[in-house]
Structure 1
Amino acid sequence: MVERLDVEFQSEGTTCRAWFYRGHPTEKRPTVVLAGGWCYVREIVMPVYAKAFAEAGVNAMIFDYRNLGVSDGDNRQHLDPWAQIRDYQNALSFLERHENVDPDRLGVWGISYSGGHALILAATDPRIKAIVSQIPVVDGYENMRRAHGTMEYRALWDLILKDRALRYEKPGERLYLPHATEDSSKEISSWPFPETVRTFMQIKETEAPLYQNKSTVESVDLLLNYDVGPFVKRIYDTPTLMIVAEGDDLTLWDLEINAFNRIPTNKKKLEVLPHTSHMTLYSDKSKVEKAAEMATAWFVETLKP
């Protein structure tokens, strides 16, 4: 039986709360940190992976970023990618000091937005000895241009500029927009895909009641400047598994594969899941379990529990 413990750590003065899945009750084991994508809370799909890792002898810790879920933070539903990356780094600092963790065998797993974070972390934090980057966001600008199309992209920019003006004129106030919506021609959202709102609202009803289908508009403003390109070329020696959904047109599988090809280490592996979409890696149990099996095998091979 995998034991799940409630833990918390400090990230730049803010308390982040997490679940620690212990792979062994007394031994120091390799440990993987997991966090989610756009607006995610820890209940969304990640427990499947964490349990699989722990059953294979690799501890796992899933945390909520600051401002989301059960973690603290006054700027609720605000997604700052660099703050999230620092939350990951502070999670690693917490784990280095944990009695059940081998600090020389730390790994990172990420999905969608955090799949990009995992790549950046591999390039910038030498404590990390292996990563899994799953259906990652790799270029926010290109992603938003293609996801929204010309007219919706114009409307998105109008909203961003309104938010910038509001934050200047009335400090402390800000605009919000949905994570996703059924009809993007009538309502601007961050990710204008009806299957996204359907999938996540179903997950909210059944597994993740703290999920909220909204973020600050500034979150999208920050996303437009997010690009893993300068970082992937610095992954020289960190074992890297990238899991891509065939034909993914949400986070754009062609951009993902191009990013993978720019990683210079020979300790890398690309898995393209056939007959899979971005969202079926949340909604289809068999697809989730297949991806978890791949990720588990990678961490067992590279972190050696």
Structure 2
Amino acid sequence: MTREDIEFDSCGETIRGWFYPASGAEGPAPTVILAGGWCYVRELVMPYYAERFAAAGINALVFDYRNLGVSDGGNRQHLDPWAQIRDYQSALSYVETRADVDNDRLGVWGISYSGGHVLILAAIDPRIKVIVSQIPVIDGYRNMRRVHGTVGFRKLLSLVEEDRRLRAGSSGKQLYLAHASAVPHEEISAWPFPETYETFAALKASEAPGYENRSTVESVALLMEYHVGPFLGRLLQTPVLMIAAEGDDLTLWDLEIDAFNEIPSPAKRLEILPHTTHMTLYSDRGKLEVAAGHATEWFVTQLAAGK
């Protein structure tokens, strides 16, 4: 499938991505913006979804956040959730300038960390008419506390405090930690799951060489300030599809279901994928196919059907 290299400005930084034109479109077409989760670059899984959307007659734009991948940004591997949300909004502003985009039919898709971002985006940006939130992060503090366990969480907090003191000085230095580790009992990482390390290492070798298994420690501090809860009550009419994985103990499917139940919009749907973990939605193409099918059907129904 053809795709176009694109770039746009976001808060003074150049953001780069790919635009997938809608197949068979005659005139402006509905458009979905996609961005990834923790340390993701645009090559990671997202092109698969973008191709599915484009084949169904929906433009798709995949991009790297600032500080990651091929996008600009001097503080490399720094993950600020609000900066990432602003990058999504800048992507929306970019597609609004294109003649092949119908500005009245815009949607956003997110996975893991960005699965939370799209819930916030739908609450704060009226341009967004529909969203798909897949295995989202809901409450960063509770997430970190549960996945690290009591002793591990103590070590994580100590590292965050060490980094905060270092950054307060005049050295210009900061600390980094791994995204994931093969030996989480020996090495502090943001997401202490061996299967996360193994899956992303395989994806880096096969399709995403720009992926780096590290972030700033401050990124974790910002994650622990992150909570989508205050925004859910604003989703009064926005069509929301949430896709959860049965037994997901990485982004915590019980928190995801609680969040879904707090959304007042009558136009919402919850899909729980059986016999699926958080990471098999990256490593198992069969399970990815199921999730992509749900997302595609939702966007077609809400953005494209009958237009």
TM class by shorter chain equals over 0.9
Counterpart in the other structure of 1:240:
240
State the SS of the aligned residue for 1:266: coil
Looking at structure 1, the residues matched to 29 and 2 of structure 2 have their Cα atoms a distance apart, in angstroms, of 14
Identical amino acids, percent of aligned pairs: 65
- How much does 1:247 deviate? 0.3
Counterpart in the other structure of 1:258:
258
Counterpart in the other structure of 1:81:
81
1:233-292, CA deviations, whole angstroms, 9 ceiling, x for partnerless residues?
110111000000000000000000000000000000000000000000000000001100
Counterpart in the other structure of 1:161:
161
RMSD between aligned alpha carbons? Answer: 0.9
Looking at structure 1, the residues matched to 27 and 147 of structure 2 have their Cα atoms a distance apart, in angstroms, of 46
Matches within 5 A, 1:42-57: 42-57=42-57
Looking at structure 1, the residues matched to 275 and 267 of structure 2 have their Cα atoms a distance apart, in angstroms, of 26
1:13-51, CA deviations, whole angstroms, 9 ceiling, x for partnerless residues?
100001000004662100000000000000000011000
Looking at structure 2, the residues matched to 96 and 121 of structure 1 have their Cα atoms a distance apart, in angstroms, of 16
Looking at structure 2, the residues matched to 119 and 154 of structure 1 have their Cα atoms a distance apart, in angstroms, of 30
Using structure 2 for the length normalisation, give the TM-score.
0.98
Counterpart in the other structure of 2:170:
170
Looking at structure 2, the residues matched to 147 and 233 of structure 1 have their Cα atoms a distance apart, in angstroms, of 27
1:191-216, CA deviations, whole angstroms, 9 ceiling, x for partnerless residues?
00000000000000000000000000
Looking at structure 2, the residues matched to 129 and 289 of structure 1 have their Cα atoms a distance apart, in angstroms, of 24
State the SS of the aligned residue for 2:225: coil
Matches within 5 A, 1:215-230: 215-230=215-230
1:146-183, CA deviations, whole angstroms, 9 ceiling, x for partnerless residues?
00000010000000000001001135211000000011
Using structure 1 for the length normalisation, give the TM-score.
0.98
Code of the residue aligned with 1:98 in structure 2: it is R
Stretches of structure 2 that go unaligned for 5 or more consecutive residues are none
Counterpart in the other structure of 2:6:
7
Looking at structure 1, the residues matched to 97 and 129 of structure 2 have their Cα atoms a distance apart, in angstroms, of 17
- How much does 1:111 deviate? 0.1
Looking at structure 2, the residues matched to 156 and 74 of structure 1 have their Cα atoms a distance apart, in angstroms, of 25
Code of the residue aligned with 1:150 in structure 2: it is T
Looking at structure 1, the residues matched to 63 and 286 of structure 2 have their Cα atoms a distance apart, in angstroms, of 24
Matches within 5 A, 1:1-305: 2-24=1-23, 27-304=27-304
Number of aligned positions between the proteins: 304
State the SS of the aligned residue for 1:18: strand
Stretches of structure 1 that go unaligned for 5 or more consecutive residues are none
Looking at structure 2, the residues matched to 267 and 26 of structure 1 have their Cα atoms a distance apart, in angstroms, of 28
Code of the residue aligned with 1:225 in structure 2: it is E
